[in-house]
Structure 1
Amino acid sequence: MNYNAALTLPDTQRLAGIRRGIEKEGLRALVNGALALTPHPTALGAALTHPHITTDFSESQLELITGAHLGVEDCLEELRRTHQFVLRTLTAQCEPELMWASSMPCGLPTDETIPLGRYGSSHVGRSKSVYRMGLGHRYGRRMQTISGIHYNWSMPGIRSEEYFSLIRNFRRHAFVLLYLYGASPALSPCFVEGRQHQLQPMGHEGKAFYLPHATSLRMGRLGYQSDAQASINVSYNGLEGYANSLYDALTRPYPAYQLVGVRNPGGDYNQLGTSLLQIENEFYGTIRPKRMVKSGERPLHALRERGVEYVEVRLMDIDPYEDVGIHGSTMRMLDVFLLHCLLSDSPPDSPQEIADIKHNQHLAAERGREPGLRLLRGGREVELAAWADEVLQACRPIAEALDQVHGTQDYSAALQLALTRVQDSQQTPSARVLHDMEHDFGNQFNAFGLARSQWVRDQLLARPWAEGDEAQFRAWAAESLQAQRAIEVATVGSFEDWRQHYMAAQQLG
């Protein structure tokens, strides 16, 4: 499948109207590199209602959220200011904390000790915690502490079917991004303790496990994977097929989860439901079609009623060499890559191709820098490097068009950097991580991660900080705490009645 030069590029106004936003996860860590087990700091506001600072799976796992921006640098600057406020808050505590600068987690306690996110006493707040309890039962809590960067992207005038065309091509070519930007080739021994794995000890002391040519263990078999979800046959050939396959996973009972039950004998909740997926967000994938939801609305219902509004790219690792985990060049390459996926011919996927895509993802994540590595393409083997070069070469007219729209050469420069990394794998972040771990940190993952986290802290705290920024973030924190209290005061009825209503099949549309 090749870029079709006969397809016309979108007009200047549409290209200028591309919006992007970032959701960046990161663990709170102590200055010794261990997971911080303290509650979400009150000074950061309420995780339930804050517009820019919340938590992901764990109470110890921050998630920083930007708005949708027309400019790459504007998006980065908002993320940077949010990072600054968070780090100023964490370092001012009695026991200072850091934001861990790697996708693979810092030193973890026992699985059951990792704290679940807490969102107050309202029904919606309780449901978020119960959902996380279910994730812990289903996949283990350690897996959920993996962090990443989600890139939300839209362009004016794209219909739902065109977004699904983009998604199919993105999945076909996702290996390119794993190779270029994967930054998790190694991990702490605590992450795999008691688990079967094929990783190798790094050095003689066993202070890290790795694979020599890995790009992103986060996106490999040790990451966001499960046998249960492997049984979901999701179709990306259109909104109706996608919605129907997701509906099936959300309503089909799964025997292993039925054994866990919704509640234990003492009455405490184990999970929201016993279906294959509790809610839509439990479905893992490298990219998702998304739509803003109304209060109390299920995401699948919103998609069915109003169509796809944007896509969420979910395979990006945190770059430990960037202060906020992602560089502007990477964001520009994502814009180019997503446009390439949109404009290229995109035939319907098939069960065989879906299997090949999964195979390719695992190979690229675990062996992506291996010389001569071959992937499956249309029933034949092709070298990863040759295929990646072909995809990127086809991106040239798109990068040039975006340069013209924005009066810059930055998009072509981002593409050239990507092409250089395809030619020389030692220039990829994953290769750099392994080199630095070996030469500067005695093959110790935690020592490397701690050093990068301290560097991020120092870089961001050294940047200018305006009184107006401080006042704005303090106001957001106070308003979010007040908003959570208002939701709790307005909560009526039993949580069980609310749960049954929210989880009812008719709520899915």
Structure 2
Amino acid sequence: MLNLDQLVSEDLTNLNRGIEKESLRVNPTGQLSQQPHPDQLGSALTHPNITTDFSEAQLELITDTHNEVGNCLKQLRQVHQFVSRNISSELLWCSSMPCMLPEDSRIPIAQFGDSNIARAKTVYRRGLALRYGAKMQTISGIHYNFSISNETWARIYGRSHDRNELIAIKNQHYFSLIRNFRKHAWLLLYLFGASPAVCDCFVNGRVHHLNKMANGTHFLPYATSLRMGPLGYQSDVQSSISVSYNNLTSYAQSLYDALTQPYPPYAAIGLTDGKNPIQLSNALLQIENEFYGTIRPKQPVQY
């Protein structure tokens, strides 16, 4: 079993790492943009570094894979600067909790084009809006992707293992890491959470215990991360999924039914509105990435 005693400082500094940063485009008055994805930013479907997340107005900036922290942050800064110069008078909302939002029906869902994969990505997002509400999907965040370098694996385990053996070793250790991260994730939110306030429009009509701070804003005095709390990016429905993080096989098996078996409330929505598709499936999860969590194994295909 891999433990910290086997790692040297270079193993940690030479991690493969990348960042995905989501930000809402807003107009000069702080309201969600109703403008399409700017042509100057390229295709949201194919650009390697600039795409959209749930909303057409929700940019996602993606770095390449880097071994050095400084180079990773440098590229993110450069992409951020390029975007800022090419969104006209609009701005990037800096908070994870959203800006002033219109009603759900006026939050524009991301459009990717007319190809099959492009349409599937939009249909998936329509399903998210119907299942969880469009407002919740505008919550933004940062995804930090990382992996241990092949050089580290080779140094610790040698180069005598065949490919399948090494994959099994990696999977075992990554799931150990996932379990440890989940165990201590509360501490990260306590120390680094930074979303104590939210716009009135986000909680209108919802039961909450927030205090009024100023016109248009609610907060809690000791809140650290409303984003990760009951009002944030959460799903009561998904809490019914008993996910196993023991190993890759048990993880896949525990998600299988959620991905393949009809879930009555979502089945009642239907797959089309009579003319256009509105969700990819009637299962509890349309795809693996719909499952929310503080950490998860990286999927090679992204929607």
TM-score by length of 2: 0.90
2:267 aligns to what? Answer: 258
Deviation at 1:268, TM superposition (A): 1.4
Q: Is the 8 A contact 2:14 2:68 kept in 1?
A: no
1:57 lines up with 2:54 in the alignment: yes
Residues 13 and 121 of structure 1, relative CA distance in 2, 3 Å threshold: same
SS where residue 177 of structure 2 aligns? helix
1:248 aligns to what? Answer: 257
1:135 aligns to what? Answer: 128
- Aligned-pair identity in percent equals 59
1:105 aligns to what? Answer: 98
Choose the corresponding residue for 1:122, options 98, 115, 121.
Answer: 115
1:285 aligns to what? Answer: 293
1:228 lines up with 2:251 in the alignment: no
1:68 lines up with 2:65 in the alignment: yes
Matched residue type, 1:82: V
Distance 1:12 1:195 in 2: 48
Deviation at 1:198, TM superposition (A): 2.0
1:87 lines up with 2:96 in the alignment: no
Deviation at 1:76, TM superposition (A): 0.3
Deviation at 1:13, TM superposition (A): 5.1
Q: Where do 5+ consecutive residues of structure 1 fail to align?
A: 1-5, 300-509
Deviations 1:346-401, CA, capped at 9 Å, x for gaps:
xxxxxxxxxxxxxxxxxxxxxxxxxxxxxxxxxxxxxxxxxxxxxxxxxxxxxxxx
SS where residue 86 of structure 2 aligns? helix
> In angstroms, what is the RMSD of aligned CA positions?
1.7
1:191 lines up with 2:202 in the alignment: yes
| Corresponding residue pairs, total | 284
SS where residue 285 of structure 1 aligns? coil
Choose the corresponding residue for 1:44, options 41, 48, 69.
Answer: 41
Deviation at 1:185, TM superposition (A): 0.6
Deviation at 1:248, TM superposition (A): 1.6
Matched residue type, 1:284: Y
Deviations 1:7-56, CA, capped at 9 Å, x for gaps:
51314553343111100000000011111110000110000000000000
Q: Relative contact order, CA 8 A, sep 6+: which one is greater? A: 1
Runs of 4+ displaced beyond 2 Å: 11-17
Distance 1:120 1:105 in 2: 26
Who wins on radius of gyration, i.e. which is larger? 1
Choose the corresponding residue for 2:276, options 254, 262, 268.
Answer: 268
Matched residue type, 1:282: E
Distance 2:94 2:285 in 1: 30
Q: Where do 5+ consecutive residues of structure 2 fail to align?
A: 154-168
1:215 lines up with 2:227 in the alignment: no
Deviation at 1:290, TM superposition (A): 1.4
Matches within 5 A, 1:153-168: 153-156=146-149, 157=153, 159-168=170-179
Q: Greater helix percent: which structure?
A: 1
Distance 2:78 2:45 in 1: 21
Residues 12 and 104 of structure 1, relative CA distance in 2, 3 Å threshold: closer
Distance 1:201 1:252 in 2: 43
Deviations 1:385-419, CA, capped at 9 Å, x for gaps:
xxxxxxxxxxxxxxxxxxxxxxxxxxxxxxxxxxx
Matches within 5 A, 1:374-413: none
Distance 1:51 1:270 in 2: 27
1:181 lines up with 2:192 in the alignment: yes
SS where residue 103 of structure 1 aligns? coil
Matched residue type, 2:25: R
Matched residue type, 1:198: H
